[in-house]
Amino acid sequence: QKEVEQNSGPLSVPEGAIASLNCTYSDRGSQSFFWYRQYSGKSPELIMSIYSNGDKEDGRFTAQLNKASQYVSLLIRDSQPSDSATYLCAVNYGGSQGNLIFGKGTKLSVKP
Amino acid sequence: SAVISQKPSRDICQRGTSLTIQCQVDSQVTMMFWYRQQPGQSLTLIATANQGSEATYESGFVIDKFPISRPNLTFSTLTVSNMSPEDSSIYLCSDYDPNTEAFFGQGTRLTVV
């Protein structure tokens, strides 16, 4: 059973702080990793993708991947109230198959 | 990135009826997927919509309940058949290119009464 695990939260951080979101996955053959942001009542919006070990930065967002530990994280610097949402970790186990396995999501609340 | 248009955005349906959800992509995509998101839950893959062949269903989902069409590389439909209140969910279509990322339509919020 291929699984993606996330803490459901809620994770509460003050405005301006760093929010750290974590995700573990069960299959070492996983190749592609994604973070999606989902506002209530909306569809998921791609935030970051990462394919190789290390860090990948895009603006205030940094994705970190450690395949040996089967761990992927998302850091949000200078958190804003508009970052308050549920963050979904998704893993592509299938290579060309394409279907993603989603974690249950972590609800982030950024307090002004 | 592809732009995915999904409709209807929401509907309220009577139990026992069927609803067909449409998904249009603005470019040709190899794969299209249909997901269900039940209240407070994450996304669960229903099936992969294959162009020119039958859809591939995940465990727990069957063609009689969720028939899917994929007549070309830019369009797919999902029908939720013989609906019951347990089918009340958000249904999402997605594309995926292994060389890029997956993007989602805006979703269909279905309420069965």
Low-confidence ranges of chain A (pLDDT < 70): 94-98
Note whether B33 contacts A90, CB cutoff 8 Å.
no
Nearest to A43 among B96, B97, B104 (CB): B104
Banded model confidence at residue B96, pLDDT cuts 50, 70, 90: confident
Among A1, A35, A99, the residue to mutate for chain B (most B Cβ within 10 A): A99
Beta-carbon contacts of A94 under 8 Å, excluding residues fewer than 6 positions away, are none
pLDDT of residue B98: 62
pLDDT of residue A47: 93
Shortest alpha-carbon distance between residue A44 and chain B (Å) = 7
Q: Encode pLDDT of B9-22 as tens digits.
A: 999 999 999 999 99
pLDDT of residue A8: 82
Reduce the DSSP state of residue B25 to 3 states and report it.
Answer: strand
Note whether B103 contacts A46, CB cutoff 8 Å.
yes
Question: Rounded distance, CA A17 to CA A26, Å?
Answer: 30
Question: Rounded distance, CA B83 to CA A86, Å?
Answer: 28
> CB contact, 8 Å: A7 with chain B?
no
